[in-house]
Amino acid sequence: MGALLAILLGANFISDKFIWGYAILFLSTLAVHYHNDYFDYQADQFVTPTPISGGSGVLIENPQWRELSKKIAITLILLAITLSVAFTIIFSYTYWFIIFVIFANLLSWFYAAPPLKLSYRGVGEFGNTAIGLLFPGLGYFTLMGTLDLTFLIFAIPIIFWQLMFTSSVEIPDMEGDKLGGKNTWIATRGRSFGFKLIAMASFLATLSFILMPYTPLFPSIINFQLLTLISLIPLTLGIIEIIKRPVNKKTATPYCIYNLASIFTAIILINCYFIYLIK
């Protein structure tokens, strides 16, 4: 989405840049799965994996692979940083691009890794939500060459959706996270709080799209009424969940799965709309 927004705002689509940026993003994202499984190994023993939470379960079943998982994660991160250095040199970009990639990977790493262990100290949600800014930001930065106010404003609803995503993957693991020592907001405040947070985040995402056209930052070609309409998909679920109030894992988990599906659907629809505008 970040790359598509950059093109709509006047950036040239250069396939080499796009491929390099996508490779950096792919490696960074893939690393998250490996190091989260490694550092959450103890906590994951108290949870039953669901389609959206609880880790992959691979290391629980094969603990002999733990060190390998960590080494793979470190290798992937180093490759991503190396590519960012090469990208900066080849395309004469600012060194801030390298710093941006390093920061994104460090934030993901310390979500569960010591000494910060953000998710165990009650602040993991801030790090996870920031990824809603960093990963789309990488696509935007790759093609635009900078991060500007226009991107930061457009990223606001994406950040709220990331908060919705984070809460949804924490809700099924509430009991296990408590036993495993993870002080997530859901583990400390309960599922009812989590669904209220989801409803609030989805509402604020929709409100953000409503207010954006009142800024002078975006081209008139973007129909924010359509984006607002798309944002109603996650919001509708958020409202339903407030009404239904599912409080146990069995009833809450399906709603959390629907939440993730609604976010992915909204993002895919926005991407398709942006591609249509570009063509």
pLDDT tens sequence across 92-132: 999 999 999 999 999 999 999 999 999 999 998 988 888 77
Q: Taking residues 169-185, report their average pLDDT.
A: 93
Cα(249)–Cα(241) distance, integer angstroms: 14
Residue 246 CB partners (closer than 8 Å, separation 6+): 191, 195, 252, 255
State the pLDDT confidence band at 56, using cuts at 50, 70 and 90: confident
Cα(197)–Cα(118) distance, integer angstroms: 19
What tens digit of pLDDT does each residue of 199-218 get? 999 999 999 999 999 999 99
What pLDDT score does 260 carry?
Answer: 97
Residue 86 CB partners (closer than 8 Å, separation 6+): 20
Report how many domains make up the chain.
Answer: 1
**Gyration radius from the chain CA atoms:** 19
Q: Taking residues 141-158, report their average pLDDT.
A: 95
Q: Taking residues 248-276, report their average pLDDT.
A: 97
Cα(237)–Cα(241) distance, integer angstroms: 6
Range of the domain at 192: 2-278
Q: What pTM did the predictor assign?
A: 0.93
Residue 72 CB partners (closer than 8 Å, separation 6+): 31, 34
What tens digit of pLDDT does each residue of 214-257 get? 999 999 999 999 999 999 999 999 999 999 989 899 999 999 99
Helix axes 224-244, 149-170, angle to 10 degrees: 20
